[in-house]
Structure 1
Amino acid sequence: MTDKFNKDDEKLYRAILQETKQSLQHGPSEEEQRKIIKTGKNNARLTNILISLAIILLILPVLTLTTFMYYGFGKADRLIDVAAYTVYVTEPNISLKPMEIEDEIGLFSMHVLFDVYKRIGKEDYKAGDYDILFSLNQPDFPKKNDYLDRPWPEIPSKETERLLHPAAPIPFSVDEEWNKLNGLPDGTVAELYLSLSDLLDPDEVRYFMPEDVEVRWLAVDTGLEAEQQDEEGLPLTPIGYPAQIDSTTWSPFNGREKSNQEVFLDLIHTLKKNEDVAVKIARAKSLALKERIAYLEKNDIKIYGAVVTGPTPELRKLKDKKEIRAMKVGEVKLWN
């Protein structure tokens, strides 16, 4: 009986081996196996990509919404105001139209774009445009397009200054500037940068102007203009304010509640709170607002320079005025 049992087991074993062998012979080839593995990898990679895209598509709207919320609660308005105020206070005879300022909000960033204008004669000419990129609340240096014939240098220095304190040296030939003005055709209007012989009250500047000459911008003495640099030796540019009321509703100098002098003081206090932003936007890489404000709080506003415009024949009448120490010719246009 044992022999019979062993023979039966052997037959069963051989049958199992034969069946297994046949199964292996009919399985996938090596090439097919490689294809199966490759397909599996591709499917896994595609699945990972789709999952990643889904996560990104979910995150981007959240980040974009977060950016809009960041700028939406007054942050964008504050940064735009600082940019506009910096131009008003640091750029002589330059204005802008606040209602035309554009902002483009991106991912954790905002572009502020606006045009600036200069009054020559009786018309405002486009002087340039600004594109300021803010990464959250930190601005890059502005990208500027300048359309002026005699633009201010981008990097200020004592040698290139046009408005000079009575105690500051004159870095150019005043006679050459008057000769340049005399050589202009009578059918032109021009812009002049006047440096005064003494510090004057703002209203006194208008007293010695010919009838058709308009005072556009007043340079304010803040105690640092004689040296033309801050305590660290960095060059300072003039700060001041428009001499004329701007009837534009949204201009800070619209004259409705405060005089231009009062608005100027308000603006520089606002800029002091945001001085890191204002310095990036201004040509000068130092505004020294703490020292300047402290000086103005102890002293009345005095003017040491002015930007004026008018018909060239009328501007020539300023040559013999004792109140004027130096003059620099700015922009010139045909009579308008």
Structure 2
Amino acid sequence: MTENRKDETELYESILNESIQEFEETHSHSEKEQKRIIKKGKNTAIRTNILISLAVLLLIVPVLTLSTYLYYAIGGKANNAIDVAAKTIYVTEPNMSLEEMEIESDIGFFSMSITFDVFKRIGREDYKAGDYEIYFAFDSPSFPERRMLLDRPMQEIPTIDTEWLVHPNASDPIGRSGEWNILKNLPDGTVGEVYLSLTELVEPKELEEKLGKEVQVRWLAVDTGFEEKQVDNEGVPVGVIGYPAQIDSTTWSPFNGREQSNEEVFMDILNLLEKNEETATKIARSKSLVLSERIAYLKEHGTQVYGAVVTGPVPELRKLENNELIRSIKVGEVKLWNWK
């Protein structure tokens, strides 16, 4: 009986061993095959991760783009940034204008860049003076990238010694003789742009009367209480501000004369820039605008000018040397005859 059980046990063990051996032979893989399987699994996992990442990105990009457009649209942030940039040019860049309808904007991820051309009136025609590109991260602008096409550009960031328009009571770094000699040696058949610094403060209308009709006054430099010492309370140079002397009939210009005088538009622009002074200061060449103090001064003392930009035939501009109102000049751009 015992022997029968022993035989049965040995039979079961034999069958079990054969089954295990058969299973191992059927399901075993070589080392090479195992590496291939592992590599295939890794590649599959990588492809899956890439596809998932692409799907997430494709979802995020339109969401971020839409969010950016909504950010600049709500409250008119984009339009306000463009408006501030354009009007800063009008009141801080002598004899400079732009076509607001031609300003281009490009929206990125919570950023915006605007580009526009600027123009100068020399004689009877407007000439492209260069172009600006300003990058905004949210509402904060970078310093503008200026690409100017001028023969005699103004200093990128003006200082006391490089300012072209000088108050009657301020030291004059320009001097008379050198610039007058430049004007005298220009050909008669040309038109030019000249920056005039005056011997005294005058009313805008009085200035035009004293200069005569042979030249055209293009831009007025306004006394705001800081031009005499030429620096703000912290010693930072304060740049010139002013406004166009002539009505601009183009529909996009704020100085189109339809509802307000140029002087009234000038004050409205200063009030706008005061509310956006950080942006205006970045865009302007001057790094201190002190607008609240200047606005208060103008409200108390009214508008008087200490300098101007004029244009006309070079022979007529030479005659200004005999005008007692003119303290010094700076010759700007010169073009071929176009005085019709």
SS of alignment partner, residue 203 of structure 1:
helix
SS of alignment partner, residue 305 of structure 1:
strand
Deviation at 1:42, TM superposition (A): 1.1
Aligned partner of 2:42 in structure 1 is 41
Given that residues 210 and 317 in structure 1 are in contact (C-alpha distance below 8 angstroms), is that contact kept between their aligned partners in structure 2? Answer: no
With the length of structure 1 as denominator, give the TM-score of the two structures: 0.98
The superposition leaves residues 7-36 of structure 1 with CA deviations (integer Å, 9 ceiling, x where unpaired) of 212211222122212322342111111111
Aligned partner of 1:32 in structure 2 is 33
Aligned partner of 2:14 in structure 1 is 14
The superposition leaves residues 118-172 of structure 1 with CA deviations (integer Å, 9 ceiling, x where unpaired) of 0000010000000111111111111111100000110211111110001111102
1:143 partnered with 2:145? yes
Which one of the candidate residues 72, 77, 80 is aligned to 2:79? 77
Residues in 1 aligned to 2:3 and 2:270: alpha-carbon distance in whole angstroms: 114
Deviation at 1:222, TM superposition (A): 0.5
Residues in 1 aligned to 2:40 and 2:29: alpha-carbon distance in whole angstroms: 15
Which one of the candidate residues 261, 281, 284 is aligned to 2:283? 281
Which one of the candidate residues 117, 121, 127 is aligned to 1:125? 127
Given that residues 210 and 318 in structure 1 are in contact (C-alpha distance below 8 angstroms), is that contact kept between their aligned partners in structure 2? Answer: no
Given that residues 210 and 314 in structure 1 are in contact (C-alpha distance below 8 angstroms), is that contact kept between their aligned partners in structure 2? Answer: no
With the length of structure 2 as denominator, give the TM-score of the two structures: 0.97
1:293 partnered with 2:295? yes
The superposition leaves residues 246-296 of structure 1 with CA deviations (integer Å, 9 ceiling, x where unpaired) of 111111111111111110011011111111111111111111112111211
Residues in 2 aligned to 1:211 and 1:89: alpha-carbon distance in whole angstroms: 24
Counterparts of residues 298-317 of structure 1 (less than 5 Å)? 298-317=300-319
Question: Which amino acid in the other structure matches residue 6 of structure 2?
Answer: N
Deviation at 1:86, TM superposition (A): 0.6
Aligned partner of 1:222 in structure 2 is 224
Question: Which amino acid in the other structure matches residue 56 of structure 1?
Answer: L
**Matched residue pairs, number?**
336
Unaligned runs of 5+ in 1: none
Aligned partner of 2:234 in structure 1 is 232
Residues in 1 aligned to 2:292 and 2:18: alpha-carbon distance in whole angstroms: 98
Given that residues 166 and 196 in structure 1 are in contact (C-alpha distance below 8 angstroms), is that contact kept between their aligned partners in structure 2? Answer: yes
Deviation above 3 Å: which 4+ runs of structure 1?
none
Q: Which moved more, 1:285-294 or 1:253-262?
A: 285-294
Q: Which moved more, 1:7-16 or 1:118-127?
A: 7-16
Q: Which moved more, 1:118-127 or 1:325-334?
A: 325-334
Residues in 1 aligned to 2:226 and 2:175: alpha-carbon distance in whole angstroms: 23
Unaligned runs of 5+ in 2: none
Given that residues 189 and 333 in structure 1 are in contact (C-alpha distance below 8 angstroms), is that contact kept between their aligned partners in structure 2? Answer: yes
Given that residues 174 and 328 in structure 2 are in contact (C-alpha distance below 8 angstroms), is that contact kept between their aligned partners in structure 1? Answer: no
Sequence identity of aligned pairs in percent? Answer: 58
Given that residues 106 and 112 in structure 2 are in contact (C-alpha distance below 8 angstroms), is that contact kept between their aligned partners in structure 1? Answer: yes
SS of alignment partner, residue 194 of structure 1:
strand
Residues in 2 aligned to 1:321 and 1:246: alpha-carbon distance in whole angstroms: 28
Question: Which amino acid in the other structure matches residue 15 of structure 1?
Answer: I
